[in-house]
Amino acid sequence: MIDFTYRRAASVDDAVRSGAGAAQQTRFIAGGTNLVDLMKLDVERPAAIVDINVLGATDRSLAAVSDLPDGGLRLGALARMSDVAWDARVKERYPVVSQSLLLAASGQLRNMATLAGNIMQRTRCPYFRDVAMACNKREPGSGCSAILGINRTHAVLGGSDKCIAVHPSDFAVALVALDATVHVHGPSGARAIPIAKFHLLPGQHPERETVLQPGDLITAIDLPALPFARRSLYLKVRDRASYAFALASAAVALDVQGGTIRAARVALGGIGTKPWRSAAAEHALVGRPASAATFRAASQAALADARPLRDNRFKVPLARRTLERALAEVTA
Amino acid sequence: MQLDSPLGVGDAAPDFALAVADADATSLSDFRGESVLLVLASPHWDPASEMLAARYPDAGDGAPMPRIVTERRAEITNRFGVQGGSALYVVDERGVIRWRWVAGVDVVPQSSVDTDDDRLSLTRRDFVQSAMMAAAALAAATLAPAVVNAAPAVPDVTAALSHGPATRITLDVNGRPLALDVEPRVTLLDALRERAGLTGTKKGCDHGQCGACTVHIDGRRVLSCLTLAVMVPDGAHVTTIEGLAQGDTLHPMQQAFIEHDGFQCGYCTSGQIMSATAVVREPWGPADDDVREAMSGNICRCGAYPGIVAAVQSQRQSRSAEGPR
């Protein structure tokens, strides 16, 4: 690991200032589960690390789950995955969120990793993680090793001729299904970003992954009041039974009244270059009976634009069946 | 716990009877007239001390080599002020300490060289060489290969041991204070293993994928390989596998792993047990599958999983039999 300077942030403003001044050279650290790993691989080479964990001690809301007046929940950016996953309000009102967190990583990692770090985590693309390989995301302009390489785990939705790396977060998939809001403190003040606009498609610039600018610090993630999210589900399919990234996953919430679907939220993970909300699947669900035929049609719609490559063709039917099963289970 | 300062350059090395008598020496003072490399290491650091002693003679180029004495009995290391830690001393022909490297509890690893001292009876070349060798041997045990390769070209023994500005951290490890000067890039795992001599915590993948390095911070299981030592909050309690047993009485989970055959080679076991002792406090369901899910961050390549599940279940059941947690 290269050498770097380390200091603890004195306040949110202090962290924002230190991040803004030095652009790409400064990284915030909280759980460190992704950053330290990538620093050991030489993928991340920050000159300075600013520890933001202490901010949660001075302002507990930064690391807590709290009720919003409208019935939603505010999830502090520094809250640990395990604490949020086990929170009774999260489990009751947003089971899809609790499940997406518990099905991710391991018990130890969930005790360390924060929510903000989770949605900021970098791709698991093996070419991105290997500095000997070309990668446009890690080194813009160097080429993509995955498009013609071993691309079994890569994206079938949202890829470009520059990058097909999957966004690895499960939690972020649940968030896009729920229309969560990301609160950010930046050099020009505070702002709120809809989660759907938070992550970027790779396009011609896969090195840009989110809309955050240097110095921006996530302070909270708001889950809006969504009564029918009490009936929501996260289904994850992977190479082993536990402790693996998704090959395909589905976050679903359905409002079914009298056998008819009144509202639907569908998002997919493991198959997209960003957490993938599927308007097409939701359109195929709303107003129709909650039946196997409807679920099948929605699943077809969700993957209609899929562009698989040599090794990841299996993901298209896998994602369809994952979504179909999730819709069936959440209405069972 | 009262900590003494380790003996330093210029101090007389306390005499002691050798654990294994030589043909011509039964105590340290029998080596008067020649220099000695003294390897002091706690039992926890056993493999490293063996490596130090074993590698040292290989590094020579014909120059006179000091004799090597390896000593790890607590009553002796305590007399050098090196409790629970590790140290290398070069003792000259008159029994005076001429160089040292110390790591351990409440001690800042450092080397001190005083080659201009005209009382020094080792030649400057011999002395620097022996100090270099000690540093290189130590580096081989603790530092990256690139550092070892760089050592011969840098005629400053401290260069092999320290790189950038260090930060003083104070940890509470297994109920004992541990003060260290560490660079920010030192992980908690390396600080525990290489600096505090607590080698029960294992380095498996070093990337957060295997769980061998699991320790507790304030009772929560975390991965020490992905935790920078400087990040551990002030006053936080770190618990390692060495902190579970009460004297000679094993922790019930340790006993359960033995009784249920929860290991074969044992490399993942300290991480498994640290995970397991935290899992019993987490709100998992009662089924074997819940244990499998809860413990999935601890990989066992021997495949001792059935025994691990049985061991964890035996402790969860005995805990629930005692009443609410």
Higher pLDDT, residue B134 or A235: A235
Q: Is the pLDDT of residue B131 over 60?
A: no
User: Which residue type does A92 have?
Assistant: E
Whether residue B313 lies inside any domain: the answer is yes
Q: Is the pLDDT of residue B150 over 60?
A: no
> Does residue B44 share a domain with residue B75?
yes
Q: Name the domain boundary from B243, B261, B296.
A: B243
* Cβ–Cβ contact A70 with B under 8 A: no
Whether residue B45 lies inside any domain: the answer is yes
Among partner residues B187, B208, B297, which is closest to A107 by beta-carbon distance? B297
Number of A/B CB contacts below 8 angstroms equals 86
Return the pLDDT at B65: 60
Whether residue B7 lies inside any domain: the answer is no
The residue range of the domain holding B36 is 28-160
Return the pLDDT at B106: 36
Q: Which two tokens stand for residue B41?
A: 């290491």
User: Which of A135-139, A156-160, B110-114 is the least confident region?
Assistant: B110-114
SS (H, E, C) B20-87: CCCCCCCEHHHHCCCCEEEEEECHHHHHHHHHHHHHHHHHCCCCCCCEEEEECCHHHHHHCCCCCCEE
User: Which residue type does B268 have?
Assistant: C
Return the pLDDT at B43: 54
Among partner residues A4, A37, A109, which is closest to B184 by beta-carbon distance? A4
Whether residue B39 lies inside any domain: the answer is yes
Q: List b or e across B199-227, with b for residues whose CB sees 16 or more CB atoms inside 10 angstroms.
A: bbbbbbebbbbbbbbbbbbeebbbbbbbb
pTM for this model (two decimals): 0.78
> Does residue B196 share a domain with residue B287?
no
Whether residue B53 lies inside any domain: the answer is yes
> Does residue B192 share a domain with residue B238?
yes
Q: Which residues contact B325 (CB under 8 A, 6 or more apart)?
A: B280, B281, B319
Q: pLDDT of A25-45, one tens digit each?
A: 899 999 999 999 999 999 999
Whether residue B10 lies inside any domain: the answer is no
What is the mean pLDDT of the segment spanning B64-74? 73
Q: Does residue A40 contact residue B189 with C-beta atoms inside 8 Å?
A: no
**CATH classification (class only), A5-51:** alpha beta
Q: For strands B67-71 and B36-41, give the pairing.
A: parallel
Whether residue B58 lies inside any domain: the answer is yes
* Cβ–Cβ contact A2 with B under 8 A: yes
Return the pLDDT at B120: 36
Q: Which two tokens stand for residue B58?
A: 């290989």
**Residue B143 CA to its chain's centroid (Å):** 13
CATH code of A231-331, in short, is: 3.30.390.50
* Cβ–Cβ contact A48 with B under 8 A: no
Structural domains in chain B (count):
3
Q: Is the pLDDT of residue B144 over 80?
A: no
Q: Is the pLDDT of residue B132 over 70?
A: no
Return the pLDDT at B73: 78
> Does residue B307 share a domain with residue B258?
yes
* Cβ–Cβ contact A58 with B under 8 A: no
Whether residue B17 lies inside any domain: the answer is no
A contacts of B279 (beta carbons < 8 Å)? 107
Return the pLDDT at B133: 57
Return the pLDDT at B103: 63
Quote the minimal CA–CA distance from A1 to chain B in Å.
7
Q: Do A107 and B167 touch (CB under 8 A)?
A: no
What is the mean pLDDT of the segment spanning B17-22? 80
> Does residue B311 share a domain with residue B264?
yes
Q: pLDDT of B171-226, one tens digit each?
A: 999 999 999 989 999 999 999 999 889 999 999 999 999 999 999 999 999 999 99
> Does residue B212 share a domain with residue B110?
no
Residue ranges, comma separated, of all CATH 3.30.390.50 domains in chain A are: 231-331
* Cβ–Cβ contact B301 with A under 8 A: no
* Cβ–Cβ contact B222 with A under 8 A: yes
Q: Do B211 and A108 touch (CB under 8 A)?
A: yes
Return the pLDDT at A157: 98
Q: Is the pLDDT of residue A161 over 80?
A: yes
Return the pLDDT at A260: 98
Q: What is the residue whose two structure tokens read 């921006």?
A: A216
Write the CATH number for B230.
3.10.20.30
> Does residue B47 share a domain with residue B130?
yes
